[in-house]
A and B are shown apart, each in its own frame.
Chain A
């Protein structure tokens, strides 16, 4: 498997690896995937009072493309509103990282992680989904 230079860059220098404390204000978590399938992504967003995602963290168990997809997504969601974040599509992620067809599921998983994190935030804050 040969990787694009962008995948390699995110893999070698992953952005925003880590975790926020779960009970910190404004923090929401999305966990998607399953160990049996070979990838699990955890995406956390920190939303400020204006409803803007001001920071994000990820941890990923998975192949290089899965790690790169989640790393990229943490960069992209920052500064966006929840609705803007939900507009990020897997095809954009796949295009940006030049993922081969066999790795498209990694970008789908990253999109799902955003949806899951936003849903978690809305559930916690009592907003309609």
Chain B
């Protein structure tokens, strides 16, 4: 049954949601599947003494198969977690601990998600050494640079498949080959990738892959870690208890969440091709609608990128005030001002964007439920508000009168 909210002549509902990389609305078809597992089939999937337990267990295993199918893996390679952050922690800490006898050096990238970077910082406090690689100006990892970072004591590498801020697709196939050849465990954070790009783990030489449900219309609070069986990769559990998930991750399985993730992954498998066409058309429309505004820069490579993401810097306009003026659009700023740190995005900085442009960025992330009418509205709003804020911007005024901002002596504060 198709219940998609696309098309139609319905009234626009505000705010227009263009923040799908933060999270997505649960697809009503997913929610519908979950509910019976809250109020009817509420048994513990680990209870093997009655039908409520058996039925819950069957649902969990069906969902496991669905998750495995989307990434072409064996269901026995899927371990449920509470989300991609936990998966990242389990993968990195678990593999680092298991292989610590072989070496204590880890390689990752400066533009990874905080769940990777902060876990690596923790590992550093526990005696590991971590190399954080720079990226090219387009946001991609330089393979030669990656190779050069590897040492005899490198045991683990972690590179995300799709970047959460700029949507670029990293060359994980090539990195996987390099790692496999050298016997280095390769972890891939695919939280932003599943359901957006094809993932075939019979080809991709990743040993550990983090997955999340809520980025692709499933519920929050559930994710999974793929742990390769052939060749077998080993990790040490980080959560101890009843020995669930073959000892990799103890804790009672949340059946309804798992069912939701399974259904979300099934829908992604069935609809990904059509959906990507729809989303790409909307993204291109959005880009075209703002491309002729002067001094607008797309951050990150446009070719090696998921169609869902458009990250743009509007020069001479500050990101937070931009968000404030776009109150009918739910978007996020690359500038983390809103999280009180007042630091511009570390991802954009890693691309070599100067601070001013990093402060001026907005991330639009599109999803299944967006419509053409919504994009038309967003374009209209953007054009109007950028104009208003630039009229108010001393930087814009200076540039218009021919001042080279890079030569101005600013009074830093």
Report yes or no: A1 in contact with B410, Cβ–Cβ below 8 A.
Answer: no
Interface status of B39 (Cβ within 8 A of chain A) = no
Interface status of A36 (Cβ within 8 A of chain B) = yes
**Which residues of chain B have C-beta atoms less than 8 A from A40's C-beta?**
394-395, 410
Q: In the complex, how many angstroms separate the beta carbon of A83 from the nearest chain B beta carbon?
A: 23
Interface residues of B in 385-402 (CB under 8 A from A): 391-397
- What is the number of residues of chain A that contact chain B, defined by CB distance less than 8 Å? 31
Task: Report the separation of the CA atoms of residues A94 and B297 in the bound assembly, to the nearest whole angstrom.
Answer: 34
Q: A37-B412, A37-B413 are in contact. Are A63 and B393 (CB under 8 A)?
A: no
Interface residues of A in 12-37 (CB under 8 A from B): 14, 17, 19, 31-37
Interface status of A109 (Cβ within 8 A of chain B) = yes
Q: A36-B410, A102-B340 are in contact. Are A41 and B321 (CB under 8 A)?
A: no
- Residue from B335, B338, B340, B395 within 8 A of A61 (CB atoms): B395
Task: Report the separation of the CA atoms of residues A61 and B337 in the bound assembly, to the nearest whole angstrom.
Answer: 14
Q: In the complex, how many angstroms separate the beta carbon of B359 from the nearest chain A beta carbon?
A: 5
Report yes or no: B320 in contact with A61, Cβ–Cβ below 8 A.
Answer: no
- What is the number of residues of chain B that contact chain A, defined by CB distance less than 8 Å? 29
Report yes or no: B391 in contact with A33, Cβ–Cβ below 8 A.
Answer: no
Q: In the complex, how many angstroms separate the beta carbon of B354 from the nearest chain A beta carbon?
A: 7
Interface status of B143 (Cβ within 8 A of chain A) = no
Interface string of A64-89 (1 = CB under 8 A from B): 10110000000000000000000000
A-B contact count (CB 8 A): 88
Report yes or no: B356 in contact with A32, Cβ–Cβ below 8 A.
Answer: no
Report yes or no: B412 in contact with A62, Cβ–Cβ below 8 A.
Answer: no
Report yes or no: B411 in contact with A60, Cβ–Cβ below 8 A.
Answer: no
Task: Report the separation of the CA atoms of residues A33 and B412 in the bound assembly, to the nearest whole angstrom.
Answer: 6
List B residues at the A interface (Cβ < 8 Å).
316-318, 320-321, 324-325, 335, 337-338, 340, 342, 344, 354-356, 359, 391-397, 405, 410-413
CB-CB nearest 8 A-B residue pairs = A34-B410, A35-B356, A36-B355, A42-B394, A63-B320, A59-B394, A64-B324, A38-B359
Subset of 26 A-B contacts with CB under 8 Å: A1-B337, A1-B340, A11-B321, A14-B392, A19-B397, A34-B411, A35-B410, A36-B356, A37-B412, A38-B320, A38-B335, A38-B342, A38-B344, A39-B318, A40-B395, A40-B410, A59-B393, A60-B392, A61-B316, A61-B395, A61-B396, A62-B321, A63-B318, A64-B321, A102-B340, A112-B413
